[in-house]
Protein backbone atom coordinates (compact mmCIF):
# COMPACT_ATOMS: atom_id res chain seq x y z
CA UNK A 1 0.00 0.00 0.00
CA UNK A 2 1.48 3.36 -0.98
CA UNK A 3 1.77 6.12 1.61
CA UNK A 4 -0.72 8.38 -0.18
CA UNK A 5 -3.48 5.81 0.33
CA UNK A 6 -2.97 5.66 4.07
CA UNK A 7 -5.39 7.32 6.40
CA UNK A 8 -2.98 9.16 8.63
CA UNK A 9 -4.42 9.81 12.07
CA UNK A 10 -1.05 9.98 13.88
CA UNK A 11 -1.19 13.76 14.29
CA UNK A 12 -2.53 16.97 12.77
CA UNK A 13 1.14 17.87 12.17
CA UNK A 14 1.01 15.59 9.10
CA UNK A 15 -1.22 18.03 7.18
CA UNK A 16 0.32 19.24 3.93
CA UNK A 17 0.22 22.87 2.74
CA UNK A 18 -2.90 23.59 0.67
CA UNK A 19 -2.63 24.60 -3.03
CA UNK A 20 -3.34 28.23 -2.02
CA UNK A 21 -0.43 28.04 0.45
CA UNK A 22 1.88 26.64 -2.21
CA UNK A 23 1.00 29.53 -4.53
CA UNK A 24 1.47 32.12 -1.79
CA UNK A 25 4.85 30.58 -0.90
CA UNK A 26 6.03 30.79 -4.51
CA UNK A 27 5.00 34.42 -4.79
CA UNK A 28 6.00 35.62 -1.31
CA UNK A 29 7.87 38.90 -0.96
CA UNK A 30 10.94 38.19 1.14
CA UNK A 31 13.90 39.87 2.86
CA UNK A 32 16.40 39.05 5.59
CA UNK A 33 14.34 38.47 8.73
CA UNK A 34 17.36 38.59 11.05
CA UNK A 35 17.60 42.26 9.95
CA UNK A 36 13.82 42.50 10.46
CA UNK A 37 13.45 43.07 6.71
CA UNK A 38 11.16 40.26 5.61
CA UNK A 39 7.85 41.99 4.83
CA UNK A 40 5.84 38.76 4.87
CA UNK A 41 7.20 37.68 8.26
CA UNK A 42 6.54 41.17 9.61
CA UNK A 43 2.98 41.01 8.32
CA UNK A 44 2.41 37.58 9.86
CA UNK A 45 3.75 38.77 13.23
CA UNK A 46 1.52 41.88 13.17
CA UNK A 47 -1.51 39.83 12.16
CA UNK A 48 -0.89 37.22 14.89
CA UNK A 49 -0.52 39.95 17.53
CA UNK A 50 -3.74 41.56 16.33
CA UNK A 51 -5.72 38.30 16.38
CA UNK A 52 -4.46 37.47 19.86
CA UNK A 53 -4.84 41.02 21.18
CA UNK A 54 -1.19 41.19 22.27
CA UNK A 55 1.34 43.99 21.63
CA UNK A 56 3.71 41.89 19.53
CA UNK A 57 4.43 38.41 18.20
CA UNK A 58 7.49 36.53 16.98
CA UNK A 59 7.64 33.87 14.25
CA UNK A 60 9.57 30.77 15.39
CA UNK A 61 10.25 27.49 13.58
CA UNK A 62 8.53 25.20 16.09
CA UNK A 63 6.17 25.07 19.03
CA UNK A 64 8.96 23.64 21.16
CA UNK A 65 11.14 26.67 20.43
CA UNK A 66 8.20 28.97 21.18
CA UNK A 67 7.56 27.34 24.55
CA UNK A 68 11.28 27.30 25.36
CA UNK A 69 11.61 31.02 24.67
CA UNK A 70 8.47 31.81 26.67
CA UNK A 71 9.67 29.84 29.71
CA UNK A 72 13.00 31.68 29.55
CA UNK A 73 11.26 35.06 29.31
CA UNK A 74 9.10 34.39 32.36
CA UNK A 75 11.55 32.75 34.78
CA UNK A 76 14.93 33.00 36.47
CA UNK A 77 17.45 30.17 36.79
CA UNK A 78 16.62 27.85 39.71
CA UNK A 79 12.89 28.52 39.80
CA UNK A 80 10.08 26.00 39.51
CA UNK A 81 7.54 25.86 36.71
CA UNK A 82 4.10 24.48 37.55
CA UNK A 83 2.61 22.49 34.68
CA UNK A 84 0.06 19.73 34.20
CA UNK A 85 1.55 16.24 34.65
CA UNK A 86 0.90 15.15 31.04
CA UNK A 87 1.86 18.52 29.53
CA UNK A 88 4.00 18.90 26.44
CA UNK A 89 6.54 21.25 28.10
CA UNK A 90 7.21 18.64 30.76
CA UNK A 91 7.12 15.41 28.77
CA UNK A 92 7.96 16.06 25.14
CA UNK A 93 10.44 18.91 24.93
CA UNK A 94 13.64 17.11 25.86
CA UNK A 95 13.88 18.79 29.28
CA UNK A 96 14.23 22.24 27.74
CA UNK A 97 12.79 23.73 30.95
CA UNK A 98 15.97 22.56 32.66
CA UNK A 99 18.38 22.73 29.74
CA UNK A 100 17.72 26.26 28.57
CA UNK A 101 16.00 28.01 31.47
CA UNK A 102 17.58 26.17 34.43
CA UNK A 103 14.15 25.49 35.92
CA UNK A 104 12.60 22.48 37.61
CA UNK A 105 9.19 21.28 36.49
CA UNK A 106 6.59 20.89 39.25
CA UNK A 107 4.03 18.63 37.54
CA UNK A 108 0.47 18.74 38.87
CA UNK A 109 -1.85 15.83 38.01
CA UNK A 110 -5.41 16.47 36.84
CA UNK A 111 -8.24 14.23 35.68
CA UNK A 112 -8.99 16.11 32.49
CA UNK A 113 -5.92 18.15 31.60
CA UNK A 114 -7.50 21.31 33.02
CA UNK A 115 -5.42 22.92 35.78
CA UNK A 116 -7.61 24.73 38.30
CA UNK A 117 -6.36 27.18 40.90
CA UNK A 118 -7.18 24.75 43.77
CA UNK A 119 -4.71 22.25 42.25
CA UNK A 120 -2.08 24.84 41.42
CA UNK A 121 -2.21 26.66 44.76
CA UNK A 122 -1.02 23.61 46.71
CA UNK A 123 2.20 23.55 44.69
CA UNK A 124 3.06 27.26 44.73
CA UNK A 125 6.25 27.84 46.72
CA UNK A 126 7.88 30.97 48.08
CA UNK A 127 11.68 30.96 48.17
CA UNK A 128 13.00 29.42 51.40
CA UNK A 129 16.34 28.05 52.61
CA UNK A 130 15.30 24.60 51.32
CA UNK A 131 12.92 25.21 48.49
CA UNK A 132 13.09 26.91 45.14
CA UNK A 133 10.37 29.45 44.41
CA UNK A 134 7.72 29.12 41.73
CA UNK A 135 8.26 31.42 38.77
CA UNK A 136 5.72 30.38 36.20
CA UNK A 137 2.55 28.43 35.53
CA UNK A 138 2.08 26.80 32.13
CA UNK A 139 -1.44 26.04 30.91
CA UNK A 140 -1.90 23.79 27.86
CA UNK A 141 -5.07 24.54 25.89
CA UNK A 142 -6.20 22.32 24.24
CA UNK A 143 -4.49 19.63 26.30
CA UNK A 144 -2.90 17.17 23.91
CA UNK A 145 -2.34 14.05 26.01
CA UNK A 146 -5.54 14.51 28.01
CA UNK A 147 -7.35 14.02 24.68
CA UNK A 148 -7.70 17.56 23.33
CA UNK A 149 -9.69 18.81 26.31
CA UNK A 150 -10.39 22.51 26.61
CA UNK A 151 -9.68 24.89 29.50
CA UNK A 152 -12.69 27.23 29.73
CA UNK A 153 -12.27 31.02 29.68
CA UNK A 154 -13.36 31.41 33.33
CA UNK A 155 -10.75 28.89 34.52
CA UNK A 156 -8.04 30.62 32.48
CA UNK A 157 -9.04 34.02 33.88
CA UNK A 158 -9.19 32.73 37.44
CA UNK A 159 -5.74 31.10 37.23
CA UNK A 160 -4.17 34.21 35.68
CA UNK A 161 -5.78 36.64 38.14
CA UNK A 162 -4.71 34.67 41.21
CA UNK A 163 -1.23 34.00 39.83
CA UNK A 164 -0.72 37.69 39.07
CA UNK A 165 -1.94 38.65 42.56
CA UNK A 166 1.03 36.78 44.03
CA UNK A 167 3.54 37.84 41.39
CA UNK A 168 3.54 34.69 39.23
CA UNK A 169 3.48 34.68 35.45
CA UNK A 170 1.34 32.47 33.21
CA UNK A 171 2.38 31.06 29.84
CA UNK A 172 -0.21 29.51 27.58
CA UNK A 173 0.93 26.57 25.44
CA UNK A 174 -1.78 27.17 22.89
CA UNK A 175 -0.38 24.89 20.19
CA UNK A 176 -4.05 24.20 19.34
CA UNK A 177 -5.63 27.35 20.79
CA UNK A 178 -7.87 27.84 17.74
CA UNK A 179 -9.38 24.39 18.34
CA UNK A 180 -10.17 25.52 21.89
CA UNK A 181 -11.74 28.77 20.67
CA UNK A 182 -13.86 26.91 18.11
CA UNK A 183 -15.08 24.49 20.78
CA UNK A 184 -15.97 27.35 23.13
CA UNK A 185 -17.39 29.40 20.27
CA UNK A 186 -15.44 32.43 21.47
CA UNK A 187 -12.92 34.89 20.12
CA UNK A 188 -9.42 33.51 20.65
CA UNK A 189 -8.52 36.91 22.14
CA UNK A 190 -10.76 36.32 25.15
CA UNK A 191 -9.12 32.99 25.78
CA UNK A 192 -5.56 34.36 25.82
CA UNK A 193 -6.26 37.84 27.22
CA UNK A 194 -4.79 37.33 30.70
CA UNK A 195 -1.81 35.12 29.80
CA UNK A 196 1.57 36.87 29.91
CA UNK A 197 2.81 34.95 26.89
CA UNK A 198 1.12 32.68 24.37
CA UNK A 199 2.51 30.18 21.87
CA UNK A 200 0.41 28.74 19.07
CA UNK A 201 1.25 26.54 16.08
CA UNK A 202 0.51 27.15 12.41
CA UNK A 203 1.79 23.72 11.45
CA UNK A 204 -0.83 21.53 13.11
CA UNK A 205 -4.54 21.69 12.24
CA UNK A 206 -4.02 24.98 10.40
CA UNK A 207 -1.98 23.14 7.70
CA UNK A 208 1.06 25.41 7.33
CA UNK A 209 4.21 23.41 6.59
CA UNK A 210 6.32 25.03 9.33
CA UNK A 211 6.02 27.57 12.09
CA UNK A 212 4.62 28.81 15.37
CA UNK A 213 4.24 32.21 17.01
CA UNK A 214 5.00 33.50 20.47
CA UNK A 215 3.12 36.61 21.58
CA UNK A 216 3.24 39.00 24.53
CA UNK A 217 4.38 42.53 25.30
CA UNK A 218 6.61 44.37 22.82
CA UNK A 219 9.39 44.42 25.43
CA UNK A 220 9.14 40.64 25.96
CA UNK A 221 9.13 39.97 22.21
CA UNK A 222 12.28 42.10 21.74
CA UNK A 223 14.02 39.82 24.26
CA UNK A 224 12.40 36.76 22.66
CA UNK A 225 14.08 37.69 19.36
CA UNK A 226 17.49 37.34 21.04
CA UNK A 227 16.63 33.96 22.56
CA UNK A 228 15.38 32.76 19.17
CA UNK A 229 18.76 33.69 17.66
CA UNK A 230 20.62 31.94 20.48
CA UNK A 231 18.61 28.77 19.81
CA UNK A 232 19.52 28.88 16.14
CA UNK A 233 16.09 30.06 15.04
CA UNK A 234 17.17 33.26 13.25
CA UNK A 235 15.78 32.52 9.81
CA UNK A 236 16.56 34.59 6.73
CA UNK A 237 14.06 34.71 3.83
CA UNK A 238 11.45 33.08 6.03
CA UNK A 239 8.69 34.93 4.16
CA UNK A 240 8.19 31.80 2.05
CA UNK A 241 7.04 30.09 5.25
CA UNK A 242 5.20 33.08 6.67
CA UNK A 243 3.16 33.36 3.45
CA UNK A 244 1.69 29.92 4.13
CA UNK A 245 1.33 30.93 7.77
CA UNK A 246 -0.81 33.94 6.86
CA UNK A 247 -3.27 31.71 5.02
CA UNK A 248 -3.22 29.28 7.95
CA UNK A 249 -4.05 32.10 10.34
CA UNK A 250 -6.62 33.92 8.25
CA UNK A 251 -8.50 31.07 6.64
CA UNK A 252 -8.03 27.77 8.42
CA UNK A 253 -9.47 28.24 11.94
CA UNK A 254 -12.96 28.49 10.41
CA UNK A 255 -12.83 24.87 9.24
CA UNK A 256 -11.67 23.25 12.51
CA UNK A 257 -15.26 22.46 13.51
CA UNK A 258 -15.26 19.87 10.73
CA UNK A 259 -12.29 18.10 12.34
CA UNK A 260 -14.07 18.17 15.71
CA UNK A 261 -17.15 16.60 14.10
CA UNK A 262 -15.00 13.84 12.59
CA UNK A 263 -13.32 13.17 15.95
CA UNK A 264 -16.74 12.86 17.59
CA UNK A 265 -17.85 10.52 14.82
CA UNK A 266 -14.83 8.27 15.41
CA UNK A 267 -15.22 8.44 19.19
CA UNK A 268 -18.88 7.42 19.00
CA UNK A 269 -17.90 4.49 16.81
CA UNK A 270 -15.02 3.45 19.07
CA UNK A 271 -17.26 3.54 22.15
CA UNK A 272 -19.51 0.92 20.60
CA UNK A 273 -16.66 -1.53 19.99
CA UNK A 274 -16.38 -4.13 22.80
CA UNK A 275 -13.05 -3.82 24.62
CA UNK A 276 -12.43 -0.15 23.72
CA UNK A 277 -12.85 2.68 26.21
CA UNK A 278 -12.40 6.44 25.86
CA UNK A 279 -11.35 7.87 29.21
CA UNK A 280 -11.93 11.57 28.41
CA UNK A 281 -14.41 14.09 26.96
CA UNK A 282 -14.02 14.40 23.19
CA UNK A 283 -14.19 18.16 22.66
CA UNK A 284 -11.84 18.87 19.77
CA UNK A 285 -9.81 16.87 17.22
CA UNK A 286 -8.06 14.38 19.52
CA UNK A 287 -9.27 10.99 20.72
CA UNK A 288 -7.25 8.81 23.09
CA UNK A 289 -8.67 5.31 23.45
CA UNK A 290 -7.83 2.40 25.69
CA UNK A 291 -7.71 -1.02 24.02
CA UNK A 292 -7.04 -3.15 27.13
CA UNK A 293 -10.37 -4.96 26.81
CA UNK A 294 -9.52 -6.20 23.30
CA UNK A 295 -6.64 -8.24 24.71
CA UNK A 296 -4.20 -6.48 22.39
CA UNK A 297 -1.33 -4.25 23.49
CA UNK A 298 -1.48 -0.74 22.02
CA UNK A 299 1.61 -1.34 19.86
CA UNK A 300 0.08 -4.51 18.41
CA UNK A 301 -3.23 -2.70 17.82
CA UNK A 302 -1.32 0.04 15.97
CA UNK A 303 0.53 -2.53 13.81
CA UNK A 304 -2.71 -4.29 12.86
CA UNK A 305 -4.32 -0.95 11.96
CA UNK A 306 -1.36 -0.15 9.76
CA UNK A 307 -1.87 -3.39 7.87
CA UNK A 308 -5.38 -2.10 7.12
CA UNK A 309 -4.09 1.26 5.88
CA UNK A 310 -4.73 3.32 9.02
CA UNK A 311 -1.88 5.06 10.87
CA UNK A 312 -2.48 5.67 14.56
CA UNK A 313 0.24 5.71 17.23
CA UNK A 314 0.26 4.20 20.72
CA UNK A 315 0.74 6.70 23.55
CA UNK A 316 1.53 4.04 26.15
CA UNK A 317 1.16 0.26 26.58
CA UNK A 318 -2.64 0.31 26.51
CA UNK A 319 -3.80 3.45 24.67
CA UNK A 320 -3.61 4.96 21.20
CA UNK A 321 -4.11 8.55 20.08
CA UNK A 322 -5.86 9.64 16.90
CA UNK A 323 -6.18 13.14 15.51
CA UNK A 324 -8.53 14.34 12.79
CA UNK A 325 -7.42 17.11 10.43
CA UNK A 326 -7.78 18.77 7.04
CA UNK A 327 -6.29 15.82 5.13
CA UNK A 328 -8.80 13.20 6.36
CA UNK A 329 -12.44 13.56 5.36
CA UNK A 330 -15.58 11.85 6.65
CA UNK A 331 -15.22 9.01 4.17
CA UNK A 332 -11.67 8.34 5.44
CA UNK A 333 -13.06 8.35 8.98
CA UNK A 334 -15.71 5.81 8.00
CA UNK A 335 -12.98 3.56 6.58
CA UNK A 336 -10.88 4.08 9.71
CA UNK A 337 -13.87 3.18 11.90
CA UNK A 338 -14.25 -0.12 10.00
CA UNK A 339 -10.54 -0.82 10.51
CA UNK A 340 -10.79 -0.16 14.28
CA UNK A 341 -13.72 -2.54 14.49
CA UNK A 342 -11.98 -5.27 12.45
CA UNK A 343 -8.79 -5.04 14.53
CA UNK A 344 -10.67 -5.09 17.84
CA UNK A 345 -12.72 -8.08 16.75
CA UNK A 346 -9.58 -9.62 15.28
CA UNK A 347 -11.09 -10.24 11.85
N1 LIG B 1 2.82 17.94 19.54
C2 LIG B 1 3.13 16.84 18.67
C3 LIG B 1 4.08 15.85 19.36
O4 LIG B 1 5.20 16.50 19.83
C5 LIG B 1 3.45 15.11 20.50
C6 LIG B 1 1.85 16.13 18.29
O7 LIG B 1 1.91 15.30 17.36
O8 LIG B 1 0.81 16.39 18.91
N9 LIG B 1 2.70 21.98 22.55
C10 LIG B 1 1.77 21.03 22.29
C11 LIG B 1 0.53 20.99 23.12
C12 LIG B 1 1.98 20.11 21.25
O13 LIG B 1 1.05 19.18 21.03
C14 LIG B 1 3.16 20.18 20.49
C15 LIG B 1 3.45 19.20 19.39
C16 LIG B 1 4.08 21.20 20.79
C17 LIG B 1 3.82 22.07 21.85
C18 LIG B 1 5.40 21.34 20.06
O19 LIG B 1 5.29 21.72 18.75
P20 LIG B 1 6.46 21.36 17.70
O21 LIG B 1 6.26 19.93 17.32
O22 LIG B 1 6.22 22.32 16.58
O23 LIG B 1 7.76 21.59 18.37
Q: What is the pLDDT along the chain (347 residues), one digit of tens a residue?
A: 444 589 999 999 999 999 999 999 999 999 999 999 999 999 999 999 999 999 999 999 999 999 999 999 999 999 999 999 999 999 999 999 999 999 999 999 999 999 999 999 999 999 999 999 999 999 999 999 999 999 999 999 999 999 999 999 999 999 999 999 999 999 999 999 999 999 999 999 999 999 999 999 999 999 999 999 999 999 999 999 999 999 999 999 999 999 999 999 999 999 999 999 999 999 999 999 999 999 999 999 999 999 999 999 999 999 999 999 999 999 999 999 999 999 999 87
The highest-level CATH class for domain 255-346 is alpha beta
Query: Of the candidates 79, 87, 206, 64, which has an alpha carbon nearest to the alpha carbon of residue 138?
Result: 87
CB atoms within 10 A of CB 189: 13
Question: Which atom of ligand 1 is least distant from the CA of 92?
Answer: 4
How far apart are alpha carbons 231 and 241 in whole angstroms?
19
The CATH T-level fold of domain 19-251 is: 3.40.640
Phi, psi (rounded to 5 degrees) for 127 = -65, 135
Please say whether the beta carbons of 170 and 147 come within 8 A: no
Determine if ligand 1 sits within 6 Å of the CB of residue 92.
yes
pLDDT value at residue 61: 98
Determine if ligand 1 sits within 6 Å of the CB of residue 144.
yes
Ligand 1 centroid to Cα of residue 165, in Å, is: 30
Residue limits of CATH 3.40.640.10 in the chain: 19-251
Determine if ligand 1 sits within 6 Å of the CB of residue 173.
yes
Ligand 1 centroid to Cα of residue 176, in Å, is: 9
Residue limits of CATH 3.90.1150.10 in the chain: 255-346
Counting Cα atoms < 13 Å in the Cβ hemisphere of 250 gives 13
Ligand 1 centroid to Cα of residue 88, in Å, is: 7
pLDDT value at residue 346: 85
Phi, psi (rounded to 5 degrees) for 333 = -65, -35
Dihedral over Cα of 178, 334, 288, 267: its sign: positive
Return the best residue to mutate from 175, 177, 209 for the ligand 1 pocket (most ligand atoms within 8 A of CB).
Answer: 175
Determine if ligand 1 sits within 6 Å of the CB of residue 91.
no
pLDDT value at residue 347: 72
**Which residue's CA is the closest to the ligand 1 atom numbered 16?**
63
Phi, psi (rounded to 5 degrees) for 68 = -60, -45
DSSP state of 317: S
Determine if ligand 1 sits within 6 Å of the CB of residue 337.
no
Question: Residue 28 is inside which H or E element, if any?
Answer: none
Beta strands at 7-8 and 310-311: parallel, antiparallel or unpaired: parallel
Amino acid sequence: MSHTEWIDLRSDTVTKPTPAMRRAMAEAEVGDDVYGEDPTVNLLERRAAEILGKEAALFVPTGTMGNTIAVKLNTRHGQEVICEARSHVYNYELSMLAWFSGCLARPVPSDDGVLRWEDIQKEVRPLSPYRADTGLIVIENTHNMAGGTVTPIETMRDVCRRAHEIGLRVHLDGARIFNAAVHLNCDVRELVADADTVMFCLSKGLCAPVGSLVAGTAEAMARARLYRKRLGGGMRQAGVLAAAGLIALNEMPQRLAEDHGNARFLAEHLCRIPGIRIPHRVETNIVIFDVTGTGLAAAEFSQRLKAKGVLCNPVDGVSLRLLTHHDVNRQDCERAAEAFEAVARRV
